[in-house]
Amino acid sequence: MMRGSMTALVTPFRNGVVDEKAFADLIERQIAAGSHALVPAGTTGEIPALFSDERKRVVELCVDVVAGRRPVIAGTGVNTTSASVDWQAHAKTVGVEAGLVVAPYYNRPSQEGLLAHFMAIADAVALPIFVYNIPSRSIVDIEVETMAEMARHPNIIGVKDATADIQRVTQYRRLINGDFIQLSGDDASALGYNAHGGHGAISVTANVAPELCAKFQTACLEGRWAAARDLNDTLQPLHDALFAAPNPGPSKYALSLLGLCEDDVRLPLVACSSAVKAQVRAAMESCGLL
């Protein structure tokens, strides 16, 4: 079931290369903590800074380590349609459950172009797609009506919505059949998103606090809103801290405090400032993680 707390995994580095042991250990920690799915090769995984062979290896290693215990949703989108098809085909070959396809960034396509892009990928590869709408990074916003047209394709099964506009949930529900899976891409507004009818989140915070995030999402799925609010109150300082500098710098620093990986990021990202580090540490202490 592709619902609940889905972790947008960091890609750990050591001495300039992907730290495969740390990555495998992070995945095992996620499974033990109750995360509902794993999402490698996304923005939080620093995909723009990975070489193609590293990106393939990250997805393959995640599938191997998970070994069917959880769904794996791999980031497969880039800003050209043909390359996105290739990444989607690779994901299918190695056994992921779905591809996460971002709206083409930098190109600034029209709504017609967006629709044609996603339909071409869905036609080319028989693997489910989550459409990733993140206007803050891609510049273009996939409009509600365009998403509804995409959702007519049987391979387009859901959305990761990082607009932080919780009205979208209801707007989609009015135009798209009830099987369409709506996932928040914004930890801070996930409670409201779920209350409007969302089905979970692809979460950055779950890297650091997987058990709390899994409990929060489970409470939402089960309609235990008082418990969900309490857990959200606990998590909110951590949500804020992990986005106090460009993602995933703060998350990697938090994981380094837990001894789980180095806090290395690749240029053009740089290490967190002292002020951000102090905020992250304080938030972790308030959540009982330190």
Catalytic residues: 132, 160
Residue 256 and residue 245: Cα distance in Å, rounded? 16
Three-state secondary structure of 153-205: CCCEEEEEECCCCCHHHHHHHHHCCCCCEEEECCHHHHHHHHHCCCCEEEECH
Residue 217 and residue 13: Cα distance in Å, rounded? 29
DSSP secondary structure code for residue 72 in this structure: B
Biggest CA–CA distance in the chain, Å, is 50
* Residue of 133, 173, 179 lying closest to 154 (CA atoms): 179
Residue 184 and residue 199: Cα distance in Å, rounded? 8
